[in-house]
Amino acid sequence: MTIWVLIGILIKMLVVVGVTQGAVAYLILVERKIAAYAQDRIGPNRCGREIGVPFALIQPLADGAKMLLKEDVVPKYVTKPLYILAPWIAIATAMIGFAVVPFGPVGPNQIIDFQIAPNVDIGILYVLAVGSLAVYGVILAGWASNNKYAFIGGLRSSAQLISYEIPLGLSILGMVLIAGSLDMNRIMAWQSRHVWGILVQPLGFILFFTSAFAETNRLPFDLPESEQELVGGFHTEYSAMKFGMFFLGEYLHVITVSFITVILFFGGWDVPFVTSPDQSGLLWAIVKVGVITSKVGLVILFIMWVRWTLPRFRYDQLMDLAWKSMIPLALINLVMTAGIVQLVRTYWV
């Protein structure tokens, strides 16, 4: 590895971290707007009006300032090191997933690889693995808070996160079998040559997307939070920026999950009949980055739209759905896909 490659990776890391943090800030604004619209309100529209900024576009700055300037309460009874560590874990696990997410075309014929760590053969596996580390943040926060509500909230949330890991992993495997690789770039290239994943794996897509909602603690599965009926779950004792970090981690998670949804099921940078994996050059690179980010944007908008539509599940319903419906369905999907892929490979290829 030459020094230039290293510098390139560092620059990419900085860009990715900067862009995603900025994106989170503005996504929160977008979400507040969508929430308002769904409820026949107008939502934030005043911040910055005095200085001529339209649409409350500096609201994220105000939100950020508020997070930073609020009193940061650390209760006396908490286990301090773990209490402070927990939000960092939440953010870190959400951030490191981005290492293998391709933001655009990657490959030997490209000028830049739009991926921090290109050519990781087990990309999907890595994302799943670090994604499941998030449960440590949750359970540590609940435990270190030294408060029975937070603790029970933490246990409840970790049970949920772990349960939904299973259908999440199983539903991805179908696509992996069909494309024959765990590398996200190859999966995208396969879709570009054949069809989008959602057409060959419709059930897999539904299962994946549903478990993704649960994994990112979004409604209708936001029981870790459920602020209306259960104080606040595992982050009851957290305030100011520490709470903000959990929030940020969750939002970063939403972005990662949307990327994976697009990459696995909506062809990534692919637009049928326009793009192909063999195109190289800066122009195509920009087009493909644009395509994949706008698809991701649409998925995120959809996730927000669902949030303001569906009511929250009850905890037993949540567990029923995972263990009695989604895991069996995911298994059936996997076995059938494996059988069909085997048949196709034997007789047609």
Partner 1 sequence: MRVDDPKLKKIEPPTMSLGDRFYLPQVAAGLLVTAKHIFGVAFQDKAITVQYPEQQHVPSPVYRGVHRLNKDEEGRPKCVACMLCATACPAHCIDIVGATAPPSWPDREKYPESFVIDELRCIYCGMCEEACPVEAIELTGLYDLTGLSREEMIFDKAKLLSVFDVTRDAEPMKFTTPPPAGRPTPTQALDSPVS
The tokens for 239 are: 């305030």
Question: Looking at beta carbons only, is 234 or 313 nearer to partner 1?
Answer: 313
Residue 206 as a binder of partner 1 (CB under 8 A): the answer is: yes
Contact residue for partner 1 among 13, 25, 34, 58 (CB under 8 A): 34
Residue 309 as a binder of partner 1 (CB under 8 A): the answer is: yes
Cβ pair 86, 74 in contact under 8 A: no
How many Å apart are CA 186 and CA 171, to the nearest integer? Answer: 18
Question: Looking at beta carbons only, is 11 or 298 nearer to partner 1?
Answer: 298
Contact residue for partner 1 among 25, 38, 82, 129 (CB under 8 A): 38
Residue 40 as a binder of partner 1 (CB under 8 A): the answer is: yes
H helices present in 145-239, as ranges: 148-179, 184-193, 197-200, 202-215
Sign of CA dihedral 211, 213, 218, 219: negative
Residue 55 as a binder of partner 1 (CB under 8 A): the answer is: no
Residue 30 as a binder of partner 1 (CB under 8 A): the answer is: no
Question: Looking at beta carbons only, is 25 or 206 nearer to partner 1?
Answer: 206
Residue 317 as a binder of partner 1 (CB under 8 A): the answer is: no
Site for partner 1, residues 247 to 306, rule: CB under 8 A? 305-306
CB of 310 to partner 1, least distance (A): 6
CB of 40 to partner 1, least distance (A): 5
Residue 49 as a binder of partner 1 (CB under 8 A): the answer is: no
How many Å apart are CA 210 and CA 221, to the nearest integer? Answer: 9
Question: Looking at beta carbons only, is 149 or 305 nearer to partner 1?
Answer: 305
Residue with tokens 């263990």: 323
**What's the angle, vertex CA 235, arms to CA 229 and CA 241, rounded to 5?**
125
How many Å apart are CA 323 and CA 334, to the nearest integer? Answer: 16
Give the closest residue to 341 by CA, choosing from 136, 200, 149: 200
Point out which span in 10-18, 30-38, 94-102, 283-291 binds partner 1 (CB under 8 A).
30-38
Rg of the chain on CA atoms, in Å? 21
Q: Interface residues with partner 1 (CB under 8 A)?
A: 34, 36-42, 206, 305-306, 308-310
